[in-house]
Structure 1
Amino acid sequence: MNSKKTRPESVNGGSVQIDPPQMIMPDIGKKLKYVKIVYHYVMTNLLTLLLAPFFVIVIAQMGYHDVHVIYLLLQSNLVTFVVLASGVVCGSTAYLMTRPRSVYLLDYSCYKPPVQLKVSFDKFMGNSRLTGDFDDSSLEFQKKILERSGLGEETYLPEAVHCLPPRPSMATAREEAEQVMFGSLDKLFESTGVRAKDIGVLVVNCSLFNPTPSLTAMIINKYKLRSNILSFNLGGMGCSAGVISIDLAKDMLQLHRNTYALVISTENITQNWYFGNNKSMLIPNCLFRVGCASALLSNKPADRRRAKYKLIHVVRTHCGADDQAFNCVYQMQDDKGKTGVSLSKDLMAIAGKALKMNITTLGPLVLPLSEQVLFFVSVIAGRLFKTRFGRPYIPDFKLAFEHFCIHAGGRAVIDELEKSLQLSPAHVEASRMTLHRFGNTSSSSIWYELAYTEAKQQMRKGNRVWQIAFGSGFKCNSAVWQAIRNVKPSDHNPWADCISSYPVEILN
């Protein structure tokens, strides 16, 4: 018996032509896409669709007699009506007085280092060889990391690292801190017109450099901030500390009326350059670069008119109770006593778990009802029919956000989130280009990404932005902003001189 299947003939005459499967599947995919769009619209507007016909029928049935009867009832129960009305007014007043205050982002500024601090791959490797601290195996390892990192040829390193030999002293580390913080703050004060004396809250985060006096004291001294300012200096909290600082500033703005909060996010490389041959500790040398961002927040209602964004949500997830997560990003000394930060091979797996926990909390706050229903049904079905169903449904966060600012920690981080959240290349463009142009600037990277979106003039009124960052501990933190107006790039945008050249193709 011949088991070979025959295909129907396909001719230009009267016979029917059968499309191959690969041509049929895209049509099915398009139909399913339209079905999901209709489903999403119906679920989002379900209450309106159900109640609108009811109110139309009630209004249509009401006549002059019914309205007159209602009027007579109010007259005969005037005392009851006044009491109820007074209760509604008092309740509304209490709600307005105790509800959370809106927090607005007036503006932010990302530091743009001078041209002489640029470091190409050749210069990086040349300086590494000339220091004499690295063996051949470590040099080859650094070269491979650079080539696969997603970084470009125009990132920046501090002046002390450019020197031969490098000068990693307390004095040069202070110089780097002053250069990046004051550089971004000068531009921020210039663009907002806010006086330094009007700042009520100051938050600075820098994970690896914590001098005495503190970084906040350096800023207070430089700009002569007022004596009763609430200052906070956050250290050791990794690349996600920028979102933590925003959350702290938000809490302070709930307690203190009509004031401004200044948030500075940076990292210091000068004293944290690793001069050993432990490969897990060499990776930060290849990825981390100079950067700083300053943001000015306000809780003044009048500032809404000139603000760029409104803070909607902050969600923080800490996995430090797990030993593996706690140790995956760890500052330590190698066997020769040289200090550096070790990155574990388990880092991406731990980041994935932290992300899952974070979006489990964030999802119900931002996702439309249609996505929440699908996710809930998939979880229940997966538990009831474990052998028949695969992984739970992954919510479509593209329905909740128009823009994504994923921490530019490295190429693998961006790849993993693009895959996990089912994002398109356009959604992760800002992150990839920031990594290429500025490298991993730690906690400030999410601001360089937002600046990229603005430089591309893609930010429209009502657009929602998801800033998501990972940090040692291990932490995954999210901040959600909504654009109050069409946001144009500021004069001090760090992409101003090169945005026309982006996006660029990043080779594998």
Structure 2
Amino acid sequence: MRNAILAAKVVENPHVKPHLKSPPPLLSSPPSQKKKLIKQLMELALLSLFILLSVVFLLTLLRNIHDRNKHKQCYLIDYVCFKLPTDLCGEIVRRNKLLGVPDYRFLLKVIVSSGLGENTYGPRNIIVGDETSPALSDSLTEMDECFDPTLDSLFRKTEVRPSEVDVLVVNVSMFSPSPSLSSRIINRYKMREDTKVFNLAGMGCSASLISLDLVQNLFKCYKNKLAVVVTSESIAPNWYSGNHRSMQPELLVQVGAAAISTLHTVRS
């Protein structure tokens, strides 16, 4: 009897919790809360996936940029501008019978404003008075007289042999013969057969910048290469002897050339 009374008191004691397993919160929640919780979990999973993909993309991009620029250097070795003993060319304008006093004044104003003087270079056919009937030989002679001493000086200053040149870029806007001007340079200096050659024409005043940009893009694909850029303009077949003001500023274009040697290296 005493044992039965003690058992009843134990069961009736509110401080003693029965040892029963409660169901999981998700199963015991109402259906609306279940849907809300599942939606939040899905949104969290999508956000985590988006962050992970963004981090992977950013790391891949940074690695590609680092690999592209790692230990890569492009050097300007040297450059040479065309120079030769000059002849006085003041008689070239005065012997043009189509020009009058207003034309002389206009040309004088243009020459003074541009900084051109008596020592400005001109092709031989214009100096000797054959500017009205230029021939192909005049243009080729002009190019050879510009290219040959300029490249000779460049190879001598840089101590680079022509056979070591990997890339040759030649640009002359208003003269594009066949065979090309670049082929004349290759044959004269006996360059290698696998030299990558580019002959640009019709590029106008931006030809030099386009040539350097071309070399820069080539250096992204080819490592440890030597490039030579030769730039000039042909005046012999393009001289204007008339009196139209819109064409006369063409005299601002003078004979000249430049050769630039650049080297691309990848340091270990």
Aligned to 2:82: 111
Report how far residue 135 of structure 1 moved. Answer: 4.4
Report how far residue 210 of structure 1 moved: 1.1
Q: What does 1:217-232 align with in structure 2 at a 5 Å threshold?
A: 217-232=183-198
- What amino acid sits opposite 1:99 in the alignment? N
Cα distance per residue 1:321-350 (max 9 Å; x no partner):
xxxxxxxxxxxxxxxxxxxxxxxxxxxxxx
Q: Distance in 1 between matches of 2:103 and 2:61?
A: 68
How far the C-alpha of 1:189 sits from its partner, in A, is 0.5
Q: State which of 51, 73, 94 in structure 2 corresponds to 1:129.
A: 94
- Secondary structure at 1:204 match in 2: strand
Question: What is the alpha-carbon distance in structure 2 between the residues aligned to residue 172 and residue 258 of structure 1?
Answer: 38
Residue identity opposite 1:294 in structure 2: A
Q: Kindly indicate whether residue 155 of structure 2 is the aligned counterpart of residue 155 of structure 1.
A: no
* 1:2-57: CA deviation from partner (whole Å, max 9, x where unpaired): xxxxxxxxxxxxxxxxxxxxxxxxxxxxxxxxxxxxxxxxxxxxxxxxxxxxxxxx
Distance in 2 between the 1:98 and 1:293 partners?
30
Distance (whole Å) between structure 1 residues aligned to residue 112 and residue 264 of structure 2: 45
Match of 1:98 in 2: 68
Matched residues in 2 for 1:91 and 1:155: separation?
Answer: 52
1:197-229 residue CA offsets vs partner (Å, 9 max, x unmatched): 121111111111111111111111111111121
Match of 1:269 in 2: 235
CA distance in 1, matches of 2:180, 2:77: 26
User: Partners in 1 of 2:86 and 2:101 — Cα distance?
Assistant: 30
Which residue of 142, 150, 163 corresponds with 1:176?
142
Residue matched to 1:243: 209
1:299 aligns with 2:264: yes
Conserved in 2, the CA contact under 8 Å of 1:107 and 1:192?
yes
| CA drift at 1:255 | 0.8
In the alignment, is the contact (CA less than 8 A) between 2:225 and 2:263 conserved in 1? yes
Q: Counterpart in 2 of 1:282? A: 248
1:232 partner SS: strand
Contact 1:127 1:164 in 2 (8 A): yes
State the distance in 2 between where 1:165 and 1:259 align. Answer: 43
Change in 2 beyond 3 A, CA 1:172/1:212: same
SS in 2 for 1:283: helix
- Aligned-partner Cα distance in 1 for 2:112–2:80: 30
Displacement, 1:301? 4.2
Residue aligned with 1:114, SS? coil
Contact kept, 8 Å, 2:228 with 2:262, in 1: the verdict is: yes
1:145 to 99, 110, 114: 110
Say if 1:133 and 1:173 are closer, same or farther in 2 by CA, change over 3 A. Answer: farther
Report the Cα distance in structure 1 between the residues aligned to 2:79 and 2:115, rounded to whole angstroms: 26
Q: Which one of 194, 199, 224 corresponds to residue 165 of structure 2?
A: 199
Query: 1:128-172, CA deviations, whole angstroms, 9 ceiling, x for partnerless residues?
Result: 332434345433322232233322332211111101243522101
Contact 1:177 1:268 in 2 (8 A): yes
Match of 1:381 in 2: none
Once superposed, what is the RMSD of the aligned Cα atoms? 2.4
CA distance in 2: counterparts of 1:168 and 1:91, whole angstroms: 56
The separation in 2 between residues aligned to 1:169 and 1:131, in whole angstroms, is: 19
Aligned runs of 1:32-71 on 2, under 5 Å? none
Shift of 1:96: 5.4
CA distance in 2, matches of 1:165, 1:196: 35
Q: Is the 8 A contact 2:223 2:266 kept in 1?
A: no
**Maintained 8 Å contact 1:206/1:236:** yes
Distance 1:132 1:199 in 2: 48
Q: TM-score, normalised by structure 2?
A: 0.70
Q: TM-score, normalised by structure 1?
A: 0.38
Larger radius of gyration, structure 1 or 2? 2
Counterpart-to-counterpart distance in 1, 2:112 and 2:68? 54
Instruction: Number of aligned residue pairs: give it.
Output: 206
Q: Please report how far the alpha carbon of residue 93 of structure 1 lies from its aligned counterpart in structure 2 after TM superposition.
A: 8.4
**SS of residue matched to 2:168:** strand
Take 2:66 and 2:254, find their aligned partners in 1: how far apart are those partners? 45
The runs of 5 or more residues in structure 2 that have no matched partner are 1-59
Larger RCO (alpha carbons 8 Å, 6+ apart): 2
Percent of pairs identical after alignment?
A: 35
